Amino acid sequence: MKHKLPESLFNTSAALLLATAAATLPVAASAAAWPERPITIIVPGAPGGTTDIPTRLVAQKLSAILGQPVVVDNKPGSGGVIGTQAFMRAAPDGYTLLVGNTGSHAINYSAYKQLSYQPQDFMPLTDLISFANVLVVGAQAPVRSVAELVAQLKQSPGKYSYASAGIGQTTHLTAELFRLRTGTEVIHVPYKGSTPATTSVLAGGTTFMFDNLTQALPQIRAGKLRALAVTSAERLPALPDVPTMAQAGVKDFVVMGWLGFFAAAKTPPAIAATLQEALCKAMRDPEVVARFRDMGGIPGGEPQPKFAALVSGDIKRWGETIRASKVSLD
């Protein structure tokens, strides 16, 4: 015998189904139509800097791909903290992105005891550009190899110095890693940015520096700085005659700085996927590839899981170096 469902139950079920469908439709429609207005990319660095220049080039290509204006908003200061805090105040709807870097999204987590953001607040989308550091001395310096530099440092512990772009920057921590790997004692002289730090090496005020390749390359090509080694896993096309740190005798010393695009962790998956695909397409543009390589960088566009793994690995690696060197930015 068949039992007939009560009419009230049928009406309630139907109402629930209609309500669910009605609630889902705006979300689906919104995701399908995205983007419907301009997108902002927050750069936690100054206009014209090493973070700003590649971001603006990609922003132009991204605008053409998505059919909406892409605005670059510079918010420099505090090692990327100010720009990151501004990003945290935006809605997680994909209309605001952040360009993070090795400092803001790997080093800061260990260098600051009190930090207003954590890794779980972000969704890594893809890398923008990566670049090696290069160990340089002034052209007037007597040393011509890493082995000669290490010998000089060991002969007179605490006499020589290295420059950095500031405490906690990759130029600082890479040199600390070098000090730990080679068992040398050397004085750290931090500056407010890469330009004055590079200038000090040029003038002989400091002995050496692990400079950003994009910053040092023009001075190396002009014969004002001498490159002893690069921190990449392989030799670089921009400096084919310069050995890697491993080839120069310092093992386990691959250090790559990177810039990358981050969305808010709660960004809808469909929007995040659209963004990641569009960003990767922008970075495959021949003009972008050529410009990045001319800067001494490696164009990004890695799949999201691979970039997320890179960020996670650097958080761990730099955390170990920071704890060993007792660095604190608070």
Q: How many CB atoms lie within 10 A of CB 293?
A: 15
**Listed residue (311, 255, 310) closest to 108, CA to CA:** 311
Q: What is the per-residue pLDDT across 26-46, written as a single tens digit (0 to 9) for each? A: 444 445 689 999 999 999 988
- Name the superfamily (CATH) of residues 38-131+256-325: Bordetella uptake gene, domain 1 (3.40.190.150)
Residue 327 has pLDDT above 80, yes or no: yes
Q: What is the per-residue pLDDT across 231-288, written as a single tens digit (0 to 9) for each? A: 999 999 889 999 999 999 999 999 998 999 999 999 999 999 999 999 999 999 999 9
pTM for the full predicted model:
0.77
- How far, in Å, CA of 148 to CA of 141, rounded? 11
Bridge partner residues of 257 (DSSP): 131
- Matching CATH topology for 38-131+256-325 and 132-230? yes
Residue 308 has pLDDT above 90, yes or no: yes
Q: Where are the domains of the chain?
A: 38-131+256-325, 132-230
Supply the Cα-derived Rg of the chain in whole angstroms.
24
Q: Which of 67-71, 110-114, 225-229, 244-248 has the lowest mean pLDDT?
A: 110-114
CATH of domain 132-230: 3.40.190.10
Q: What is the per-residue pLDDT across 191-226, written as a single tens digit (0 to 9) for each? A: 888 889 999 999 999 999 999 888 899 999 999 999
